[in-house]
Amino acid sequence: MGRTQLSEEAEREEEEGRERFHAAETKLRELGSRRQLLLDQVHQLSDLQKSLYDRRQPKQQQLDDLHNAHREVGHQLSEARRRRDALRAGIEQALIDVRMVRQELPKGDHARPEQLRREMAQLELRQQTHAVPLAEENALIGHLRALRKQLLVAEKEQGVVEAHEARRKAADETLKQRRLELDHLSAEVQRLHVERDRKMEAMRSVLLEVGQLVAEIREKGRQRAEVMTRLDTANRQFMEVDRECGELIEASRRRRQEARQTMGEYNRAVRSSVSGQSVVDRTAEAQLAELLKRGRVTLSG
């Protein structure tokens, strides 16, 4: 089938439509290239965000581990301080106990039974081995009797003194042990304090790195949002121009369809009036072509 013959007006419209279509096609190619470039930028920024996120995850896990460790050391430090404060109160009480025990025994010299027995033995030996005047012997016997009374008293006091000495030693030992424990706890508190500070410094360092990565991720997200906005604008423009191209194609199709329909109706009318005259048919077609060149063909009954 040959090209449909159009009227002059339709030909002008067709030419204008063809020019507009070529311009739209050129614009579509430009918009397509721009859209692809923007799409590549979106993919590139998305890949950068993914890479930054993958780098952030181990740092975030490290930060969480350091935070848990710092919190655990903080709990240990609080418990050590509580025990140290309680021990200090215990030391104060132990010191009071030591002072009270030391004040329980009456002041003064307390004769020891062993010393009295030695002295009595020496006097008895002298009495038995030496001849002394009667008066001196009576004095010796009186001294022995006094020593025996002192011995009885000393033997009774010895149990009290020994018990008191045992309590004093126990109080001193308790005070000593508590002071040693306090020194140990103070050193433990200091160690935990240093360890907690180190954990905090490590947390700050990792937190700074994580913060920088998060800032970069947000910046890439902001850039990606800007590119997406431009891409949406390019997509809308592309769709508008594509729709315009479709409308131009549809308008051209309608013009040709109308021309074919008009020619067909005219041919049928001529054939029905002059049947079998091929020369007349050719003449009619020539007249119709001439009419189409002059303008649209309108058939009236």
pLDDT per residue as tens digits for the range 30-87: 888 888 999 999 999 999 999 999 999 999 899 999 999 999 999 999 999 999 999 8
Name which residue leads in pLDDT, 293 or 233: 233
Q: What is the pLDDT of residues 264-286, one digit of tens each?
A: 776 676 666 655 445 555 565 66
Question: What would the pLDDT profile of 129-183 be if each residue is shown by its tens digit?
Answer: 776 677 777 777 777 788 777 777 766 666 666 777 788 888 888 888 988 998 9
Higher pLDDT pick, 265 / 300: 265
d(CA 103, CA 167): 12
Q: Distance between CA atoms of 157 and 148, rounded to whole angstroms?
A: 14
- Residue 21: pLDDT over 60: yes
Give the pLDDT score at 77. 92
Task: With beta carbons less than 8 A apart as the criterion, state whether 19 and 11 touch.
Answer: no
Whole-number Cα distances in Å, 260 to 73, 265, 267, 280, 297 = 93, 9, 10, 20, 11
Q: pLDDT over 70 for what percent of the chain? A: 77
> What pLDDT score does 300 carry?
42
- If one compares 103 and 192, the residue with the highest pLDDT of the two is 192
| pTM as predicted | 0.51
pLDDT, tens digit (0-9, with 9 covering 90-100), for 38-53: 999 999 999 999 999 9
Q: Which pLDDT does position 68 carry in this prediction?
A: 94
8-250: what CATH class?
mainly alpha
Please calculate the CA angle 194-198-199 and round it to the nearest 5 degrees.
Answer: 120
Q: Which is more confident, 149 or 234?
A: 234
User: How far, in whole angstroms, is CA 44 from its chain's centroid?
Assistant: 26
Task: Supply the pLDDT for residue 199.
Answer: 92
Mean pLDDT estimate for the chain:
80
pLDDT of residue 163: 75
| Per-residue pLDDT at 301 exceeds 50 | no
- Domain boundary assignment for the chain: 8-250
Which two three-digit tokens encode residue 160? Answer: 């009290």
